Amino acid sequence: MLTQAVESYLAVRRACGFELKCQGSLLRSFAIFSDAREKHHVCSDVAVEWAGLAESVEQRARRLGDVIRFARYARAEDPSHELPPPAFGSEKRLRSIPYVFSQEEIQRLVQAASESGYRSLRRMTYSTLFALLACTGLRVSEAIRLRFEDITRDGLVIRRSKFRKSRLVPLHETAQAGIERYLKHRLPYAPFEDHVFVSLRRKPLRIEDVETAFQTAVAKIGLYRGPASPRPTPHSLRHTFAVRSLESCPDGRDRITRHMLALSTYLGHGNVVYTYWYLEAVPDLMRSIAQRCESFFTGGRP
């Protein structure tokens, strides 16, 4: 039965550290779809038909991509499995151009958050959170999951975040002081909740809460952009941290390599490719690269 092969594949991939929550559900659906057509091995026509049930071309490409990866695994033991062609094109999505804040915009954003809402706890919660995101490059999900025990003298311990990785994020003394001020202010509101950032409900913040507070602050300082321009989001603070870090990258091939690897580790990227993406996604960085290349080829120093 194809279902058994799918479960074997998922078990092996998960043992390697992949969660495969969505992919697991899709592949089980594909196995049931195939078995209903009395196809107990991967059949290209059936795979394309099943993937084609998705609404958009992008979704069809991703569904078929999951089957193709499963088919490669299954064919290693049983060549009766066919390897479907990528009939819907590449499953890779184009990443949108990130919004990059200026230093002055970040200061205004944090200030606006400190003045939004009618309760002092809410104001201090979001102004501290946005400042922390800006100076550390944390993902929003990582920041709102922080607990008291994750704050150490050496920095913040980010536990089993994306890609099941844990890492230590060093903090500047000013950031450490900002968190300590917030905790002193927040303690009377929720003394028995061990999450660092809490809402007025005395519960951990939710992603949608952060998004709402962020957009309120963005509107207050007038950062609206047209439909064709990058849209500021809480994740833009992480983008900004990465870009500013790359702008400070030292010259020299070996030093650049070490800088990129260190930044990739600091950000918790699963692959350094995700860090290099910023070089091509941000016009200012591309312009700097072009200028250095031109200088190199005309005899100047790179």
Residue 185 belongs to some domain of the structure: yes
In a domain, 81, yes or no: no
Interatomic CA distance for residues 59 and 22, integer angstroms: 12
Candidate list 92, 119, 162, 287, residue with the active-site label: 162
| 171-to-103, 221, 231, 266 alpha-carbon distances in Å | 18, 27, 28, 11
> Catalytic site residue 195?
no
Q: What is residue 50's predicted lDDT score, i.e. its pLDDT?
A: 96
Active site residue 139: yes
The mean pLDDT value for 60-81 works out to 93
Mean pLDDT of all residues in 177-199 = 92
Give the amino acid at 235: H
User: Higher-confidence residue: 119 or 69?
Assistant: 69
**Count of CB atoms within 10 A of residue 80's CB?**
11
User: Could you tell me the pLDDT band of residue 89, with boundaries at 50, 70 and 90?
Assistant: confident
- 238 an active-site residue? yes
Q: Is there a single domain that holds both residue 289 and residue 253? A: yes
Domain identity same for 216 and 122: yes
For residue 191, what pLDDT is reported?
A: 86
Tell me, yes or no, whether 152 and 109 share the same domain.
yes
Let me know whether 206 and 283 are in one domain: no
Give the CATH number for residue 113.
1.10.443.10
Going by C-alpha positions, the residue among 135, 132, 136 that lies closest to residue 103 is 135
User: Is position 245 within any domain?
Assistant: yes
Catalytic residue among 63, 108, 239, 269: 269
- 189 and 144 co-located in one domain: yes
**Residue of 60, 108, 195, 238 with catalytic role:** 238
Instruction: Read off the pLDDT of residues 233-276 as tens digits, 9 standing for 90 and up.
Output: 999 999 999 888 887 776 655 666 777 778 887 888 877 677 77
Which one of 139, 145, 186, 239 is the catalytic residue?
139
User: How does pLDDT run across 7-59, given as a tens digit for each residue?
Assistant: 999 999 888 777 788 899 999 999 999 999 999 999 999 999 999 999 889 89
Report the pLDDT value the prediction gives residue 169, as an integer from 0 to 100.
92
**Could you list the residue range(s) of the whole structural domain that residue 284 is in?**
236-297
Catalytic residue among 9, 99, 266, 278: 278
pLDDT of residue 165: 74
Give which of 282, 236, 283, 245 is closest to 263, Cα–Cα: 245
Q: Domain check: are 108 and 208 in the same one?
A: yes
Is residue 18 situated within a structural domain?
A: yes
Q: Does the structure show a pLDDT above 90 at 106? A: yes
pLDDT of residue 209: 93
Last-in-domain residue among 37, 57, 75: 75
In a domain, 89, yes or no: no
143 against 294, higher pLDDT: 143
**Whether residue 142 is found in the same domain as residue 65:** no
- Residues 55 and 139 both lie in one domain: no
What does pTM read for this prediction?
A: 0.70
In 3D, which of 220, 214, 222 has the Cα closest to residue 130? 214
**Is residue 62 assigned to a domain?**
yes
Return the higher-pLDDT residue of 278 and 142.
142
Cβ atoms 220, 113 nearer than 8 A: no
The number of domains in the chain is 3
What value does the mean pLDDT take over residues 70-95? 88
- Among residues 235, 244, 259, 292, the one annotated as catalytic is 235
Average pLDDT over every residue of 188-200: 90
Residue 267 domain flag: yes
What span, in angstroms and rounded, lies between the C-alpha atoms of 161 and 140? 11
Give one word for 89, left, alpha or beta, with left for phi > 0 and alpha for psi -120 to 50: left
- 6-10, 80-84, 200-204, 280-284: least confidently modelled range: 280-284
Answer yes or no: 258 catalytic: no
Quick check: 96 pLDDT over 70? Answer: yes
* pLDDT for res 224: 66
Q: What is the rounded distance in angstroms from the CA atom of residue 74 to the CA atom of residue 34?
A: 15
Better-scored residue on pLDDT, 96 or 28: 28
The reply to whether 235 belongs to the active site is: yes
Q: Is position 184 annotated as part of the catalytic site? A: no
Distance CA 126, CA 116 (A): 9
Residues 214, 123 share a domain: yes
Task: Examine residue 42 and state whether it is found in any structural domain, yes or no.
Answer: yes
